[in-house]
Amino acid sequence: MAEPFRIAFIGVDHPHGSGWRESISLIYEEAILVAFVKGFDGAIASLEEKYALLPRFNSVTELLLWGQFDGAVVCLPNCETTDVVIQLAQAGKAVLVEKPCASSASNWLPAMNAIRANKVAFQAGYMWRYDEGAQRLKSMVLEGRFGKLISLQMNWYTSDITRRGPDHYLFDPKISGGGFFNWLA
């Protein structure tokens, strides 16, 4: 059996960080977390105890100097993501980025160009297709459980501003651009 794909996790306390770490832990034969870069204000409050002994770095530059990883999950504010992805792509590392990646397509373009120029694997992180519930629904449709489908409507509702607080970086236009509202477009 091949060695698992080694993943560095950049942006520990991102609102979706724990979900990504949980998902990766479920495929431990194929992929494992090997290092962390804190991100944000240097916080690691949401980091699970099982990762306590893994290396932690204060910057992507330090992580790249260490180099013992194959790819990275990037969970950073929009204003930081493009530069980090460029660094990773130039180092030949595969990249999975939590949405929305940047505050605009033009801000994301340099990262996209680096990904293409360096021919690294890339995935944007809005991947409901891998969700257990979504997979179950797909199986049920393929099994014909609903009969012949002629129309389908699904809705996903996000939380309101008070859940994170109006001071959260997602609502700061200097950090996030349209921020969290980009996800709703």
Tens of pLDDT, residue by residue over 119-156, are 999 999 866 666 788 889 889 999 999 998 888 887 76
pLDDT tens, residue by residue, 64-98: 999 999 999 999 988 899 999 999 999 999 999 99
pLDDT digits (tens, 9 = 90+) for 31-55: 999 999 987 666 677 788 898 899 9
Instruction: Give the CA radius of gyration of the chain.
Output: 18
Indicate the domain borders of the chain.
Answer: 5-124, 138-184
- Cβ pair 81, 103 in contact under 8 A: no
Instruction: Flag whether pLDDT at 11 surpasses 80.
Output: yes
What the block records as the tokens of 72 is 């990275």
The phi and psi torsions of 35 (rounded to 5 degrees) equal -165, 160
Closest among 77, 33, 41, 81 to 58, alpha carbons compared: 41
Q: Note the CATH architecture for domain 5-124.
A: 3-Layer(aba) Sandwich (3.40)
pTM here?
A: 0.79
**Token digits of residue 75:** 């969970």
